[in-house]
Amino acid sequence: MGWSLPVIESMQKLNKPFVVVSFPIFESYAKENGIPFVSYQFDEWSDSSNSLDLHEKLKAFDVDVAVPLFEETVEWAGALNSIYRDDPKVLNRAFLFRNKAMMKRKALIGGLRVGLFEEVHSKEGVKNFMKRLNEANLQIEGEEDSWVHIKPFASAGTVGHRLLRSMNDVDEKCEDGDFPCLAESHLPGTEFSCEAFVHGGKIRFLNITEYVKLGYSNFIPEGHYLHTKRDKIMKEMQKLVDIFGIEYGMIHPEWFLTANDELSFGEVACRIPGGHILELAGKAYDFDALGAFVLCHDPNLSEEELNEILPKFDVRPKEFYGNVMIYPQKNVINKLEIPDELREEPYFLDHNLIPPLTNQKIDSREGFGNHFGTVNFKGEDPDRMTELLLHYENVDFYH
């Protein structure tokens, strides 16, 4: 569900039958290149555009599993899989993945550690939430306000995410279009993500992605310190799988590890993660991560096929792969410059930075969705990897 050439190529290499369901704009390319394709308007939901209608269109392709590649296709895949598996709760779980307030409540009920959270409908609602947080944190007059994050219920990544450090921030940063949304307390600690490939309700392979800076840089596998917590993380991950009733597919939750060794749950997605994470994981563990992502959604996949496509459960790569996403630091750019120090760096692998148009204006960015490319690194020392990613985040490649 969704257009992705790398996923299409993975399925072709694996010689697995598939059909792409995506917007009409991709149909001519699909026909020219012999790609099985069903044209569909995912952004509509009506009497003539719904999962039953789509189910009928897919019968000609003998479809029995739907795989969501992107955030906007999660409900559609859930609706179809509830039909294929004759289980209406599959659709309910899809709604759970798409509503951050609902997923937080489910995590809380299941016993995961989460921050305080609330659905808010106005600036006044955010201020009242911040006041209650201040009270819970025993703030006294004159102390800084407790930090509050607001984010849309269903957007991917950091789109629409605002950090509010004070009552004044609520007035200055919040807009009427932000509401309704989720407000939540700030979670302290080291943020990281996991990519758990699940089949039959059990985690069959777990990757931990170390975030150097959210929205900018990460590397795989996790560094030395996070690696010492791997068993603890694994237990919480399996608990999350059990609480949410996840049976098949891959989940991408974000966690916070505090200084006193406690894990707090942030949120979870069940589509391809951002930050080129599966691309890095595929290189580090030497497997087809996109192909594995798709195949783990199939209840009929055998144990032999699972073992063939997934890395061994306890393997730890000797080399780390990381990248930093590059954003222009000026409003108008004319040229791309790759510094000599980068070319001479032993850990430097490659880059896919895009040369700008002449006098190209840079739009204000929403979330972290419009970087100009990535600089990729490979090496044996995660501490050196961290240094490089932090350094090149601040290097100005565009002038």
- Summarize pLDDT for 240-295 with one digit per residue, the tens: 999 999 999 999 999 999 988 999 999 999 999 988 999 999 999 999 999 999 99
Domain boundary among 317, 338, 362: 317
**Confidence (pLDDT) at 299:** 97
**Residue 257 domain-assigned (yes or no):** yes
Q: Is residue 111 part of a domain?
A: no
Identify the CATH number of the domain in which residue 203 sits: 3.30.470.20
Task: Please tell me whether residues 292 and 326 are part of one structural domain.
Answer: no
Question: Structural domain of residue 181, as residue ranges?
Answer: 117-185
Same domain (yes/no): 309, 196: yes
DSSP 157-198: TTTT-EEE-SHHHHHHH--GGG-SEEEEEPPPSEEEEEEEEE
In this structure, is residue 198 part of a structural domain? yes
201 and 173 in a common domain: no
Other residues' Cβ atoms within 10 Å of the Cβ of residue 73: 21
Q: How many domains does the chain have?
A: 4
Residue 112 counted as domain residue: no
Choose one of 317, 352, 374: the last residue of a domain.
317
* Residue 211: its H or E element: strand 202-213
Answer positive or negative: Cα dihedral of 120, 122, 128, 130: positive
Q: Are residues 200 and 313 in the same domain?
A: yes
Q: Are residues 216 and 263 in the same domain?
A: yes
Same domain, 202 and 306: yes
Q: What pTM was computed for the model? A: 0.91
Alpha-carbon gap, residue 28 to 38, rounded angstroms: 11
Specify the residue for token string 């002038």: 399
Q: Are residues 212 and 279 in the same domain?
A: yes
Q: What is the pLDDT of residue 277?
A: 96
Q: Look at residue 86 and tell me if it is in a domain.
A: yes
Shared-domain flag, residues 152 and 210: no
**pLDDT tens, per residue, the chain with 399 residues:** 999 999 999 999 999 999 999 999 999 999 999 999 999 988 776 666 688 999 999 999 999 999 999 998 999 999 999 999 999 999 999 999 988 899 999 999 999 999 998 999 999 999 999 999 999 988 888 888 999 988 887 776 666 778 898 999 999 888 888 889 889 998 889 999 999 999 999 999 999 999 998 888 999 999 999 999 999 999 999 999 999 999 999 999 999 999 889 999 999 999 999 889 999 999 999 999 999 999 999 999 999 999 999 999 989 999 999 999 998 877 788 889 999 999 999 999 999 998 887 677 766 544 344 578 899 999 999 999 999 999 999 998 988
Whether 253 is in a domain gets the answer yes
Q: Are 338 and 373 found together in one domain? A: yes
Domain assignment of residue 256, yes or no: yes
Across the beta sheet with 320-325, what order do the strands follow? 263-269, 248-257, 190-199, 202-213, 217-220, 320-325, 374-379, 348-351
Q: What is the pLDDT of residue 49?
A: 67
126 with 60, same domain: the answer is: no
- Compute the C-alpha angle 334/338/343, nearest 5°: 170
Does residue 129 share a domain with residue 88?
no
Please tell me the predicted confidence (pLDDT) of residue 242.
Answer: 97
pLDDT in tens, 372-399: 889 999 999 999 999 999 999 999 898 8
CA distance linking residue 397 with residue 372, whole number of Å? 10
Chosen domain end from 295, 317, 339:
317
Q: Say if residue 173 is in the same domain as residue 193.
A: no
Q: Is there a domain that residue 385 lies in?
A: yes
